Structure 1
Amino acid sequence: MSAWPAVAGFPTRRWRRFAQPYARAPAAVGRDRVKGEPTLRDQMTTRVAVAAIVGLTLLALVPSLFTREPWNPDEPRAAEVAREMIVLKNYLVPHLNGRPYSDKPPMFYWAASVFWRLGFGLNSGRMVSLVATMGMSLALYALGRRLHSPALGLLAAAITLSALLTAMICRYGVLDPLLTLFTTLSLACAVRAFEGGPAPGRWWLAAYAAAALALLTKGPVGVAVPLLVSAAYGLARRGVVRKGGWWHLAGAALFVGLVAAWLVPACISGGRAYAHDILFQQTAGRIGEGAAHANWAYFYLLQFPIYALPWTLLLVAALVWAWQMRRDPAALLGAAWVLAVLVFFSLFSGKRERYLLPLMPGVGLLCARYILGVMRGEHAPLRWHHGLWRATFVLLCLSAVGVGLEVRDFAKDPEVLAELKSLITPPVVAGTVAAGVAVLAVCVYGLRLPRGAAGETRRVLAVLAAVAVISLCLDLAATPILNQFRSGGELVRRAGASLANAEEVYQYQDDFNGTLNLFTRRLHLPELEDEKALRAVLESGRRVAVVIKERDAEALKGAMPFRVVATRLVLHRPVSIIANWKP
């Protein structure tokens, strides 16, 4: 008798290639796995899965590379630090505005500087995020394949890539996608070592090495995430997994060696102030009450359900199911991943949505394991399973209706509103309407699918298709419009002649996140701390340009000798460039 009815819901032969070998019994894990060389079918399955993951990543992240510049506040700063590494030929101590930059370790800036040298320019930081996201997805696929089957790995990667937080943050040239790559790699290696197989010691060494790279990307959080999740997973499966023994001592030595290889010479080269900041201030400051981006303790409990869309409701079902199926290794790991990281980050006062990016692979793994079990008939769906799917499609419909609302915050000023209307051309309107209709049609199709395993695969594909349409619409229609108001490049272009002819360019009471350094290609823009210093440079007799907040320029107009060269809204705040001479 064929085993295929146990995996009803896979409508094509290509999908059957993933599910058929695993339909008769759950996949073996760890020491129970059959040893030997991969079969031709295994190799073909892996090739198809890798191609699918690469294609999904490129579809999600490549279009925005051509429709916008780095956006304030974080992208220009990260790109400028990488650029200054090349200009100063100093890869040991990062610099911003010509001064040592101790806010973060250098791993991201090293990677971005490679892309700068390869000619990617302003897209260098986002290329790091693209490669890191692709690597994270492939690592998650390998982890899911190891714990259960290729189908689980592929589905987990697809769910992770389509979640709102992943799709949003991985488009940016910031540190968090690279951090997530290394934490995911560390966890994948730790689980591989836990579950046995040949040479588990080398997997422990790889886990510690990946954790060291995570620390070199964003500090101690890079160690905390894999440590907490692997400890929770090992504790939950303490009667089954291998503990590692003395390999942990060797791994710790490797970890310390990799970190010290950069940290010791950097502290010596950067001096006492840099060493103090990188070792103490940036760690203690983020833990204490004075941390930047401080928020209330329950911030993530309210925000995380939004970040996990469109899979939030299925995640709730998956968590309930994981509690009932506590022996399933993939379910245990996914639940530990989500809960441990969520609780850990909630303990600190500094909170931003992107800090939760390292737990999104856990969301993908847990949701995929639950959904795949329904597809294959391994377990009955929860009683409210179908209702959660219907609510998910309703939420996607609402997203399609509101796909253009991201620009609403920029329409408060009459001048901005007028410019915004001029940018919303008929092709933009037509494309947005077409995308909304397409998403609506996909959601209606999803709502009409049969209950249970028979329609489960098509429901997943419908959600992925709707997310892909929304993503492309935002990248191709909304992003070019938003770029006019979120990038500092337009301000620099409007003041092009004045900036080019200025003998000196200053910044008044703000460093503007390195934006002006990046777009003017100037290594150092001196900062003026008060009105006395501003008056001195404006009356110096030299051609001087100053970057200043619009409200300060308006307050000082008439009291000092300058004219406003250009004014532009840059991420919710109007910024002006003033000059002390006439062309």
Structure 2
Amino acid sequence: MLEAKIKDARQWWSWEDVLLIIFFGAVLFLPGLHHIPLFDRDEPRFAEAAREMLRSGNFIVPRFDGVLRPDKPPIIYWLMDFAYRIFGVNGMAARVPSAVFAMLTLLVTYWMAGERFGRIAGLLSSLILGTAVLFVAESRLATADSVLIFFTTLAMLVAWRAWDYFRISTGHADGVHLRIATIRPLTTGEFLNQSQPVPARPLSLVMALVFWVSMGLGVLTKGVTPIFVLVTMMTLSIAKGGIGKAWQHWKSLPLPTKVMEFPHLMLSALRRANWRIWQPLRPMLGIPLMLLVIGPWFVAAWIQTNGLLIQKMVMQNVVERTTSGLQSHGFPPGFYLLVIWATFWPWSVLLIPAAYHVVRRVRRRGPIAIDPGPYEFLLAWVVPSWIIFELIVTKMVQYVLPLYIPLAIICADMLVQSWHRTTDVLAAKWFATARWIWMTIWLVLAGLTIFAMQYLQP
């Protein structure tokens, strides 16, 4: 019986869905890449640095106009060089890696959401992410962000499995995992069949290694940014540790004392954290593997430039971006909360009810008792990293783009559960009204797209 349940848990997806997502991504991300010249300051610099790397045959040290380019590590240039060999040295080839990795990110998002919330939520998560304004824009630019997002999301997929295994195997899971696989309203029998507890599945060695390799490749794509993947797991470790009494004591203190005692609270949280969450990821084996992925390039780059390239990368990408507004991109905290209403459009209208939905699920509120574990992971993914990015002085809209994946999943799950009335966040009449609003919006967008494509024809 247990084996049958595990088999069912693994067979929720279909090849038709995979092909549909690939087709959907290709339609969104590939057309017109060769029509628009490289623009802004970043695209030409990435493309030219990759061209110089290909021409010189030095695939270790990136240069722009012969000068060291410490902006990004080498993976994005390697991918562009590979595309140059296939399509020739041109703007389209420079953009192809971003489009391809954006499609891969949609597939990983489908898998992450579908494993826990069902096939419909998986497909809808990919649709929401793939049509969000900023994600579409970055998937069509010759920059490193789309590649970084893929490696970050892949690492998060494995981390989420580790979290699931920890909760279920240690008895922390409470409630059911609701995997809805149909749009039509569920019968009672179908509801019970799709809401059975998911058995604990040990994280395989291969998946654990995928986590650490993805982390290493993420570092080679855009420096220290993938380290924020670890923030999610650290947050969960602290939340499941013995911080409760210390937290209650800290909350009772007056504000000046709170500020003074906050470092002590953090140290206490780390000391009492539940580090067993990390065991499925096999860090004793994985951390050396990650260093093995990163190390050869760092050593080679250090030798070729006498350490200058690595030093500039650390100063520019870590110190200066954290403490000052690099390249006039300094903004106060709250910047990302302000711009997300445009960058996550057209789905930003769902953010407030989605936040309400996920908080209710974590607090075990709603018509049915659904396991809060997946929602705890999503909150741990979004909130701490978002706060960190808001505190960093240098701000660019794409910095928080990896956090759009959990936002898309939360929005999709809220829509699916509201449709099936397993949550009362959105009323049924909302869907009737929204249907006509969305139809009007997409018809206008289609008209503008056709007009733009005709206008941009050379």
> Normalized against structure 1, the TM-score is what?
0.60
Task: Judge which range, 473-482 or 98-107, deviates more.
Answer: 473-482
CA shift in 2, pair 1:345/1:369, >3 Å = same
* Cross-structure match for 2:7: 36
Residues of 2 paired with 1:320 and 1:333: CA distance? 16
Cα offset for 1:468? 8.0
Q: Tell me the equivalent position of 1:336.
A: 380
Structure 2 CA distance for aligned equivalents of residues 315 and 35 of structure 1: 33
Query: How far, CA to CA, are the matches of 1:156 and 1:200 in structure 2?
Result: 26
**SS across alignment from 1:65:** coil
Gaps of 5+ in 1: 1-30, 394-444, 448-461, 485-583
- Per-residue deviation, 1:38: 8.0
Residue 452 of structure 2 corresponds to which residue in structure 1? 478
1:272 correspondence with 2:307: yes
Aligned length: 380
* Partner of residue 29 from structure 2, selected from 43, 58, 61: 61
Query: What is the CA–CA distance in structure 1 between the aligned matches of 2:431 and 2:349, rounded to whole Å?
Result: 6
Matching residue within 292, 303, 323 for 1:257: 292
> Which residue among 108, 111, 135 is the counterpart of 2:79?
111
Where in structure 2 are the equivalents of 1:404-483 lying within 5 Å? 446-447=436-437, 462=438, 466-467=441-442, 470=445, 473=447, 475-478=449-452
Instruction: Indicate if the aligned counterparts of 2:208 and 2:280 stay in contact, CA closer than 8 A.
Output: no
Q: Corresponding residue for 1:219?
A: 223
* Deviation per residue, 1:186-205 (Å, 9 max, x gap): 10011122223244443232
Letter in structure 1 aligned against 2:76: F
Contact 2:73/2:221 (CA < 8 Å) preserved in 1?
yes
Unaligned runs of 5+ in 2: 166-200, 242-273, 363-370
Following the alignment from structure 1 to structure 2, what is the Cα–Cα distance between the partners of residues 159 and 49?
15
**Contact map agreement 1:192 1:200 (CA 8 A) in 2:** no
* Structure 1 runs of 4+ with >4 Å offset: 233-242, 385-390, 465-469, 472-476, 479-484
| C-alpha contact (below 8 Å) 2:334/2:390 kept by paired residues | yes
Q: CA deviation at 1:173?
A: 1.5
Structure 2 letter corresponding to 1:155: L
- 1:88-487 matches, within 5 Å, as 88-120=56-88, 121-196=90-165, 197-224=201-228, 226-233=229-236, 242-244=277-279, 247-292=282-327, 293-326=329-362, 327-382=371-426, 390=433, 446-447=436-437, 462=438, 466-467=441-442, 470=445, 473=447, 475-478=449-452
Q: Aligned residue for 2:248? A: none
Q: Deviation at 1:32?
A: 10
Alignment CA distance shift 1:116-1:191 (3 Å): same
Which residue identity does 2:220 align to in structure 1? L
Distance 1:480 1:75, change over 3 A: farther
Cα RMSD (Å)? 3.0
- The equivalent residue for 2:185 is none
Contact 1:161 1:167 in 2 (8 A): yes
Measure how far apart 1:466 and its partner are: 4.4
For 1:244, what is the secondary structure of its paired residue? helix
AA of the residue aligned to 1:266 = A
Q: Work out the CA distance in 2 between the residues paired with 1:294 and 1:56.
A: 36
Instruction: Look up the SS of the partner of 2:58 in the other structure.
Output: coil
Flag the 1:227–1:262 CA change in 2: closer, same or farther, 3 A.
same
Contact 2:60-2:300 within 8 A present in 1 as well:
yes
> In structure 2, how many angstroms separate the alpha carbons of the residues matched to 1:288 and 1:314?
33
**Residues 105 and 218 of structure 1 are in contact (CA less than 8 Å); yes or no, is this contact kept in structure 2?**
yes
Give per-residue Cα distances to partners, 1:95-114, cap 9 Å, x unaligned: 11122211111111111110
SS of 1:303's equivalent?
A: helix
Q: What aligned pairs does 1:22-33 form with structure 2 within 5 A after superposition?
A: none
Higher relative contact order (CA 8 A, sep 6+): 2
Structure 1 distance, partners of 2:158, 2:210, is 6
Q: What is the deviation of 1:258? A: 1.0
Output the amino acid matched with 1:347.
Answer: L
- Change beyond 3 A, Cα 1:244–1:265: same
33 and 173 in structure 1: CA distance in 2 versus 1, 3 angstrom threshold = farther
- SS of the aligned residue for 1:278 comes to helix
Structure 1 distance, partners of 2:456, 2:372, is 45
Match of 1:77 among 45, 48, 54: 45
1:503-541 C-alpha deviation (Å, 9 max, x unpaired): xxxxxxxxxxxxxxxxxxxxxxxxxxxxxxxxxxxxxxx
Q: How far off its partner does 1:342 sit?
A: 2.0
TM superposition shift of 1:348: 0.7
**Structure with more strand by fraction:** 1
Contact kept, 8 Å, 2:162 with 2:280, in 1: the verdict is no
Amino acid at match of 1:296: P
Structure 1 residue 245: deviation in Å? 6.4
Instruction: Give the whole-Å Cα distance in 1 for the aligned partners of 2:457 and 2:65.
Output: 24
For the structure 1 residues 368 and 232, does the alpha-carbon distance in structure 2 shift closer, same or farther, using more than 3 Å as the test? Answer: farther
Check the 8 A contact 1:129/1:173 in 2, yes or no. yes
Cα distance in 1 between the residues matched to 2:454 and 2:279: 51
Compared CA separation, residues 265 and 161, structure 1 to 2 (3 A): same
Instruction: Identify the range of structure 1 (262-271 vs 321-330) with the bigger mean alpha-carbon deviation.
Output: 321-330
Identify which range, 284-293 or 362-371, moves more after superposition: 284-293
Q: Is the 8 A contact 1:71 1:483 kept in 2?
A: no
Paired residues of 1:80 and 1:96 also in contact (CA < 8 A): yes
1:63·1:476 contact (CA, 8 Å) conserved in 2? no
Matched residue of 2:5: which SS?
A: coil
SS at match of 2:77: helix
Q: Tell me, in whole angstroms, the C-alpha distance in 2 between the residues paired with 1:154 and 1:237.
A: 31
In terms of Rg, which structure is larger?
1
Deviation at 1:307, TM superposition (A): 1.3
Deviation at 1:482, TM superposition (A): 7.0
Q: Aligned pair in 2 of structure 1 residues 246, 67: CA closer, same or farther (>3 Å)?
A: closer
Give the deviation of 1:310 after TM superposition.
1.4
Cα 1:369–1:347 shift into 2, 3 Å:
same
Q: Which amino acid aligns with 2:206?
A: R
